[in-house]
Structure 1
Amino acid sequence: MKIRNVGATLVVVVGASVTALAVSGIISKEPVPPAIAEASLWSPKPLAPPRIAETSSVRPALAQPDGTFESRPVPLLPVSFADTSLPSVEPPLMTWSREIASGETLDAVLSDAGLGASDRAEIALAIGAEYDLRRLRPGHSVTLVSTRDGNPHRVELAVEDGVRIEAVFGEQLAARVLEPDPEIVTFAGEAVIESSIFAALDTADIPARFAVDLAQMLGGTVDFRRDLAGGETMRLLWREARDGTQRIGQPELAFAALDIDGSLYELVWRDDGSGRATIYVDGEVLRVFAQPVEGARLSSVFGRRTHPVYGNVRMHTGVDFAAARGTPVQATAPGRVSFIGRRGGYGRVVEIAHGSDTLTRYAHLSAVPDGLTQGQRVMAGDTIGRVGATGTATGPNLHYEVLVNGRPTDPLSDGRLAEAAEREADDTAALKRLTEARSLLAERLSSEFAQTTTERL
């Protein structure tokens, strides 16, 4: 039964297929539209053969008549190599620094830095060749730069006035002295005296050491204890040597003006390093004075005191100026050298006669200029020796005396030297210096005021 059904199905399918073929044949005999017929005839144009460019770097193998091919080497393109050398890399360094304590040696400081005995000895030898290590004092500093494995790379000793002694390790340990190249800067300031000149300067942030210079210059003219009532105005102009923000050495006074009891006292210092100053009262020259040691600290005054060596109370016949060994000592007034040599506890001494009755004595000197001879004429400000500690002295200082008819007189109050120096002054030049100093002071004070006002705003 199933076979009959399958056969009937096949007969139906075959009949349907024959009928479809007959119908399609009839349809295909219908005419084709011309546009379609034309489009059916189109074909793309043949492509042009590729052109091969000749190059100097690549050539095809050429066929020989016998059918073999010749192979030619292909030249390599030139290659430029960049500079691939690596920059030198400095090893990482470590820095250690500290100041020298009182009584401490360079070896002790380097030992504290962790250096071995051989390195310490080598460094001390190199630096000692450039600087006398016996002159080390508190405030000097040592800086050690070393590699991370502890090997020293550089050692620097910083001493006074911005001077540094540097020792650098290499194939050999080399040392050199580095001197600063300072810039001279001028400053101005104003202070009001309430209790003392020293306190007034300190309050106004002006170097308080200028109180010594003012006391020395005006000591024989003004009695500061009696004449100062309080409220007096003081204006100063000074110079400082600067290496960047660091001050080199001590500041130097250039001009000072002080109103006392209705009178205007003015002082103008020369800029030639002599320490010589002219004193004016109400615009007229009063006297000329040259201090014996420029910028020194007055460490002991005239009168009875406890002797620093012997411990008993005795008369101090002069004044002492504490200063570094070798600081120039200058004549305070014109005169003639009457003595060069040694006098017991005074040590090495130079004495200068100023007329028939006045003599100045400069004691404890470390040296005297080779060209200075007895009987030689000297002027105020001339160098006649160097600060030292010869004779009975506790340290480097100048003991300065003024003797009148053989009797010691207070150098800060006696006027005879000032009168001798005044005869040397040229009033025209002195008044010109005063005018220039006043103008510079006014200019600098205006500049300082404007700068301070701007900072406050």
Structure 2
Amino acid sequence: MDYRKLLKLPQSCVHRLMNHHLSWLGLAASLPLFGVVTAFAVAGNGDQPEPPHVDVETVTQRLALPVYTSSISTTPYWRDEQVQRGDTLGRLLNRLGVGNGEAQRFLNSSPLSKNLLKLKDGQTLSVQTNDAGELFGLRFLNDDENGEQVMVAIEKANGQWRASADPLETQTIQSMRSIDIESDGVGAVLSRAGVPPEIRAQLNEIFTDRFELASLKQGDRINLVFESLLFNGSPIANGNLLAAEVEHGGQSYRAYYFAHDSESGAYYDENGNPIKKGFNEQPVRGARISSGYGMRYHPVLHSLRMHKGVDYAAVTGTPIVAPADGIVATAETENGYGNVVVIRHSAKMSTLYGHMSRFAPGMHAGKSVKAGDLIGYVGSTGRSTGPHLHFEVRINNEAVDPSTAALPTPGLSAQQRLAFRQSSVKLSANLKLLRELPVTVAQLD
């Protein structure tokens, strides 16, 4: 055998590879494969040298701490806290981080009655405090023993705690709501949208002569404009429902509030016609309303109170009649109202008559009365500054403005119609804004 020929075979192969450009491409493509194999071979070698020994030395050194600057503010500010089930004033203040023993001592020895300091689930308490947990003041609306709301205001002035009895400066603004009915529970939908109970009660009564609010179904819509009363920028009460629009069953119903004077008013449609008829009688015939529904400064208690009815100015002994048919629910003497009669007219509506000098003969609970029947006489019993009748209308036990919910609605004079058109144009613009919104609006103050 010629071994020289065998030696020339690999040499010729290498020569051919070097002279063919495709051969170079193949060689380049195969290099990663060789790299993998090589890496595997290296990794598979378990005989590795030991790492060199390193001496570790621990060094301890004291470092100066940076100067601490407290971020706690001592500037008082107001904050709102919603009352939870089982809350007392002390428990609520502790939840807000208030640990001021002086304030607790004041609450324990407060000249205010314990009932007035009791909190109700869901009500809002405004607290003035700072980041250090110091208490400077608190305020909230509560019902007194007469069933009327009073502003409970406690503050620290010149280092001394006191209950404030000064008249409060308030501001009235317009609040708006637009609610799409997505279920059959209209009351619950209105509540979730933040419509106050007294506004819901007014809305429920405005259109009762045309439809029941409970009859609204999915796809219907309610647009509302109402008064909110602010104290130091925070809402503390609500006034009248100024404008309402209900889209129900493909029809639109609108109502606008018009004030006859500073104490009373009623609801009219866009043409100035009364929305509802109301009662057939006034409880005191021919008398004027001397004090209307809403927030008032109480002349006896010297505090801001929610006046939940209207007062008729009349001399002692003036007859008081039932404005509509009903059944007497109460005829008794109470601390605040004095001689008081309550008449139930339906499952949801009742009326109250306070400060009577005396009852009509035979007046007692369970007695049936007709519109125009005598029920008592004007007086000044109970907490009263002079002879007058305090008259309330309650819908589902919620006080509403009698002049808009039950009293006879008077027609408008030519001059009143002009004033009505001017005011209704502005309210119509607000309703139009709400109507054109594509989504439900909770608040547009």
**TM-score calculated relative to the size of structure 2:** 0.45
